[in-house]
Amino acid sequence: MPDPIVVAEGLHKSFGNTHALRGLDLSVPRGTVCGVLGPNGAGKTTAVRILATLSDPDAGHARIAGYDVVRDAGKVRARIGLAGQYAAVDEKLTGRGNLRMFGRLSHLSRREAHRRADELLERFGLMDAADRQVAGYSGGMRRRLDLITSLILRPEVLFLDEPTTGLDPRSRGEIWDSVRELVAEGTTVLLTTQYLDEADQLADDIAVIDHGQVIATGTPDELKATIGDRLDVELEDPAALSTAATVLNALAGTEPTMTGADQLSVALSGGGFRLADIVRELDRAGVAAADVRLRRPTLDEVFLRLTDRKETVR
């Protein structure tokens, strides 16, 4: 395994009585995408801010490319890019004006800053809007501008805090494409998100955090495997729903979720379930099933299970 470029060890951070982080550990290998998942208030933004030198941990430490985020903050800043939860650009300037300004502030020469601005605008499809004021940009364009602003210095590590929240599917797809391109060039990306499909699409590894701690790590497939397959059952008659739920509960050992007026879904932890057995059990209880399917769980289901949001028949 290659050297991790982002390392966090035992990070703690409190705001008054709120313990935002309680011993968070992370390790991201160079050139990979790490997806940080967690419910609202889990501590994602707090962790990103510490890694990006915007905030100091109360305890623990973190290193980017070997440099401590507190002691060598300047060295860290020269190697990272950050695109936060909001588009952090000057709305009153044009897109080009923003890139040139941030380029100059990144200590590029005037010529180099201008050249880099044009290059990024061209490459990420904002050239047509380059000379318009950002205030008139759509949400997706702003986010894209924010993203490319953090690319001016070709960062080794890019932090993306919920880069597509509030965007329509097309703009999300465009951001995803941009991220994939960057990763193909060797950039390491740490991405927080609320959208599980986003992590599924982009991340090599996932860290699920809750209450300021990592509660699970692994590839999307590994995480899906930890909670076993899912069983979806569609009934012929919705009236049989509660009987079917009882049968499935007895079989799986957990309560099924209602996924439609006549549909149930349940996690099957451990293997050894055969479709034929399940159908027979339902039959014996007098439940007529229109459809019975075994499938891999979605990341959403993994997430809900891990973060302990109880799923039950309503």
Partner 1 sequence: MTALTPRLRWTFSDGLTLVGRELGRLRQEPGELVAALVFPAVMVVLFGYVFGSAIQVPGGGDYREYLMPGLFSMVTFSAVMAVMTRVATDASRGVMDRFRSMPMARLAVPFGQTGADSLIGLLMLAIMVGAGLLVGWQPHRGLLPTAGAFLLLMVLRYALSWVGVYVGLAVKNDQVADAMVPLFLPFTMLSNSFVPTDGMPGWLRFLADWNPVSALTAASRELFGNPGAPSGDVAWPLAHPVATVLLWSAALLVVFVPLSVRAYNRGGR
Which residues would be at the binding site for Mg ion (CB under 5 A)? Answer: 44-45
Q: Residue 35 CB, nearest distance to ligand ATP (Å)? A: 13
Size of the site for ligand ATP (CB under 6 A): 12
32 touches which of ligand ATP, Mg ion, partner 1, none (CB within 5 to 8 A by kind)?
Answer: none
Determine which residue in the list 41, 166, 186, 238 makes contact with ligand ATP, applying CB under 6 A. 41
45 binds ligand ATP per the rule CB under 6 A: yes
18 binds ligand ATP per the rule CB under 6 A: yes
- Spell out the long-range contacts of 51-59 with Cβ–Cβ below 8 A and sequence spacing 24 or more: 51/6, 51/8, 51/80, 51/159, 51/190, 52/76, 52/80, 52/82, 52/159, 53/77, 53/80, 54/82, 55/13, 57/11, 57/12, 57/13, 57/21, 58/12, 58/13, 58/14, 59/10, 59/11, 59/12
**Dihedral of alpha carbons 11, 17, 20, 22, sign:** positive
Q: Residue 261 CB, nearest distance to Mg ion (Å)? A: 35
Q: How far apart are alpha carbons 106 and 117 in whole angstroms?
A: 12
Tokens at residue 206, please?
């996932």
40 touches which of Mg ion, ligand ATP, partner 1, none (CB within 5 to 8 A by kind)?
Answer: ligand ATP
44 binds ligand ATP per the rule CB under 6 A: yes
Q: How far apart are alpha carbons 97 and 223 in whole angstroms?
A: 44
Q: Residue 21 CB, nearest distance to ligand ATP (Å)? A: 8
163 binds ligand ATP per the rule CB under 6 A: no
Dihedral through CA 15, CA 89, CA 140, CA 199, nearest 10? -40
**Complex with partner 1: residue 142 or 230, whichever CB lies closer:** 142
Binding residues for partner 1, rule: CB under 8 A, are 49, 52-56, 74, 77-78, 80, 82, 84-94, 97, 101-102, 104-107, 133, 149-150, 153
164 binds ligand ATP per the rule CB under 6 A: no
**Complex with partner 1: residue 97 or 218, whichever CB lies closer:** 97
Binding marks (x or -) toward ligand ATP, 182..211, rule CB under 6 A? ------------x-----------------
Q: How far apart are alpha carbons 160 and 83 in whole angstroms?
A: 5
**Complex with partner 1: residue 46 or 257, whichever CB lies closer:** 46
Give the three-state DSSP class for 199: helix
Q: How far apart are alpha carbons 183 and 116 in whole angstroms?
A: 19
- Name 158's Cβ contacts closer than 8 Å, sequence gap at least 6: 80, 81, 82, 83, 150, 151, 182, 187, 188, 189, 190
Determine which residue in the list 15, 107, 277, 290 makes contact with ligand ATP, applying CB under 6 A. 15
**Total residues found in the chain within this entry:** 314
Q: Residue 31 CB, nearest distance to ligand ATP (Å)? A: 25
Q: Residue 50 CB, nearest distance to Mg ion (Å)? A: 13
Applying CB under 6 A, which residues contact ligand ATP?
A: 15, 18, 20, 38, 40-46, 194
